[in-house]
A = this chain, B = another copy of it.
Amino acid sequence: MKEASIAVAGATGVVGREFLKVLEQRRFPASQVRLLASQRSAGKRLQVMGQELVVEETTPDSFRDIDIAFISVSTELSGELAPIAVDAGALVIDDSSYFRMRPEVPLVVPEVNGEDVEWHRGIISIPNCSTTPLAMVGHALHNVDPIVRIVADTYQSVSGAGGEAMAELREQSRTLLDDGRADPQALTDQIGFNIIPRIDSFLPDGYTREEQKMMEETRKIMHAPGIALSATCVRVPVYISHSAAVHIELERPMDPREARDLFDGMPGMKVLDSPEEGLYPMPWNVAGTDDVFVGRIRKDVSHPNGLAMWVVADNLRKGAALNAIQIAEEVLKRGSLTPTKAGGVPQAS
C-alpha cells in the first residue's frame, strides 16, 4: 500500500479526535498529517502517531500537497471546504450530509460497497452515523434474501451532536440530580433523564432530516432503491454509541439462525446474542469498539418473512472516524486517488 499525505479538517471535534486515535491504531500509512480547525482552535497541540502536532487554522492553502483530506465539520462548512480541497488536488472524504446524495458522489461503507470508491470526482462521502450500521445489517441479508421493507427506530447518543452536547448531558444531569432545572443549549430540549424524539430539523412530510438521511442513504449504499424504509430517530441520554430496534421484511422467510450466520460471516459485524446469559449489545459495552454489534435476533412474529433484531455501534468510530479511514484504505488499495471523469451512481435493485 502506498503512503498518503493527509489533512484532517475538524481535528479538534469529537469525530476528529477519534479519527486521530483510529489513525494510530490502524497504523495508517500517512507520509504527513496536517491538523486543521477553526481559528479558535488553531495553536492547540495534539498527539498523533507518536508526535505532537500543532493545529493550524484552515485556509485555502491548507490542502496544498495533500493526497487525502478528511473533513468533519458542520454541513455548511463542508460545502465550502470540500471544493477548495478538491481544487488543490486532494481526494476529500467528507463526514457531512452536504454531498452524500449527489449522484456523482460515492457514499461508501467499505464492507458494503467498497467498489464505489473507484468512481468519484474528488469527493467521497461517509454516511450518517445512524445509517452505517443499518446498511451493514441490510447488506448481510439482502444478497441472500432480498429485503422488501425495513422499520428502524433509533436510540442515538449525544456525541452524534458533538462535544458540546456531550458536555451538556454531563452538566445537565448533575444539575438535575441536585434538583436544578435544565437549560438546553446544544440540544433542542432537555436531554438529562429525558429522551427527544427529534434529531435535526423537520421536513414537510413529518419526518426529520436525520430520518430522511437514514432512509435515503441506506438505499444508496446498498444499491437498492426499491427497499421501503421508515425510521424514527430519537436522542437518548447516552454519551457514545447509537442503537436501533430493526424490523426487516424479506422476500422469503429466513430462519433467525441463518441470519445469525450471515451476520457472523460479515466483516465488521459481531453477533452478541446470548439472552440466556444476559448478553446483548448496549451502548456501554460497545463504545470504543470497531464492529457493528447485533443481538436479539429473532423471527418478527408480525410478518411471515420478518426478522427483528437490535443493532448497536460506536457512532464516533464505525459511524464516522473508522469508516472514513477504511474508505481511505480502500482507495489506496484500489489505487483510485485520482478522480474519474465518468461517474454516476450505479443502480441495481
Contact = CB atoms under 8 A, between A and B. Distances in A.
A282 B174 contact: no
Main secondary structure of the interface of A (DSSP, over half): mixed
B275 A206 contact: yes
Contact of A301 (B174, B207, B278): B207
Contact of A280 (B198, B256, B306): B198
Contact of A310 (B174, B197, B205, B299): B197
Contacts of A19: none
A126 interface: no
Contact of A177 (B173, B236, B282): B173
A238 B193 contact: yes
Interface string A170-202: 100110010000100000111001111110001
B198 A275 contact: yes
Number of copies: 2
Given A198-B280, A284-B190, A284-B193, A205 B155 contact: no
A230 B295 contact: no
A283 to B, nearest CB: 5
A269 B299 CA distance: 32
A298 interface: yes
A265 B306 CA distance: 34
Contact of A245 (B215, B232, B275, B296): B232
A150 B296 CA distance: 19
B153 A282 contact: no
B243 A197 contact: yes
A204 to B, nearest CB: 10
A201 to B, nearest CB: 9
A238 B308 CA distance: 25
- Chain A, interface residues (CB within 8 Å), range: 35 or more
A262 to B, nearest CB: 16
Contact of A303 (B169, B228, B278, B299): B228
Interface in A72-112: none
Contacts of A245: 153, 197, 232, 234
Given A278-B188, A299-B205, A302-B151, A195 B228 contact: no
Nearest to A171: B177
Contacts of A155: 155, 195, 234, 236
27 contacts: A149-B302, A149-B303, A153-B232, A169-B193, A173-B173, A173-B177, A190-B284, A193-B238, A194-B238, A194-B283, A195-B236, A195-B238, A197-B243, A197-B245, A197-B282, A197-B295, A197-B310, A198-B275, A202-B275, A205-B301, A206-B297, A228-B302, A230-B301, A232-B245, A232-B310, A234-B243, A234-B245
